[in-house]
Chain A
Amino acid sequence: DAGITQSPRHKVTETGTPVTLRCHQTENHRYMYWYRQDPGHGLRLIHYSYGVKDTDKGEVSDGYSVSRSKTEDFLLTLESATSSQTSVYFCAIGDRTTGETQYFGPGTRLLVL
């Protein structure tokens, strides 16, 4: 596996609380991505980063923010969690010199009650 870790791996939280998920890579890839996976929807891009402090929105960015202060870390924050944000969240890394191939982390399972 590419050197990608996600923390926490599982989290249960209550509606209205802030939640931060962390993605850490040891591969020095420029691009990092956050996806959510829901049954019947495949993977949908939330936000991505193309360098330190350089981020952009994806398909389903409402209710989420991200930060990247170091090459190796990409944080996803749910400012005020809602039940619709219950999902499995995947981080991915990529280097576009390899033809857009992305490598995925193990995922974080989030339950918002």
Chain B
Amino acid sequence: AQSVTQLGSHVSVSEGALVLLRCNYSSSVPPYLFWYVQYPNQGLQLLLKYTTGATLVKGINGFEAEFKKSETSFHLTKPSAHMSDAAEYFCAVSGAYGGSQGNLIFGKGTKLSVKP
């Protein structure tokens, strides 16, 4: 079984500051890991994903995340926040072996606010 914990339901940063959104997962099989972003009144959009290979994954809009197996973490970072980054961010995990374990399990989300 898989589960996801996102630390902090709300994070506020100043424009230009580092963005760090935390995600820890639990999985009984090798995981696939994802970050999605949701802007107000819209569906979810994939930011980046880790399946296999390089553990540092780069995504859209300058975001990146690092898979750390020893820490069971997949934290999302961006060096310099923009006002347009204000949104809700969801971390998700699925099992690499497919079947019902291939379904996505989502964290509860972190709402990012960016102050001018």
Q: Which residues of A contact B (CB under 8 A)?
A: 4, 33, 40-45, 48, 56, 58, 90, 92, 96, 99-107
Comparing B12-20, B38-46, B64-72, B76-84, the segment that makes contact with chain A is: B38-46
- CA gap between A32 and B51 in the complex, in Å: 20
Task: Please name the residue on chain B nearest to A99 by beta carbon.
Answer: B51
- Contact partner of A99 among B32, B36, B90, B109, CB < 8 A? B32
B61 CB to nearest A CB, Å: 16
Contact B43 A104 (CB under 8 A): yes
**B51 touching A43 by the CB < 8 A rule?**
no
B108 and A45 contact, CB distance less than 8 A: no
Query: Within 8 Å CB of A90, what residues of B?
Result: 43-44
Residues of B within 8 A of A99 (CB): 32, 49, 51
How many B residues are at the interface, by size bracket? 20 to 34
A58 near B34 with CB under 8 A, answer no
Which residues of chain B have a CB within 8 Å of any CB of chain A?
9, 32, 34, 36, 41-46, 49, 51, 90, 94, 98, 100, 102-104, 106-109
For A91, give the chain B residue with the smallest CB separation. Answer: B43
Q: In the complex, what residues of A have CB within 8 A of residue B102's CB? A: 96, 100
Measured between C-beta atoms, what is the minimum distance from A58 to chain B in Å? 7
Q: Which 7 A-B pairs have the closest CB atoms?
A: A104-B43, A99-B51, A42-B108, A42-B106, A104-B44, A43-B106, A100-B94
Query: Do A102 and B100 touch (CB < 8 A)?
Result: no
How many angstroms from the CA of A63 to the CA of B72 in the assembled complex?
A: 35
CB distance from A34 to the nearest CB of B (A): 12
Least CB distance, A61 to chain B, in whole angstroms: 12
- The answer to whether B42 touches A100 (Cβ under 8 A) is no
CB distance from A6 to the nearest CB of B (A): 9
Query: Which residues of chain A are near B42, meaning CB under 8 Å?
Result: 106-107
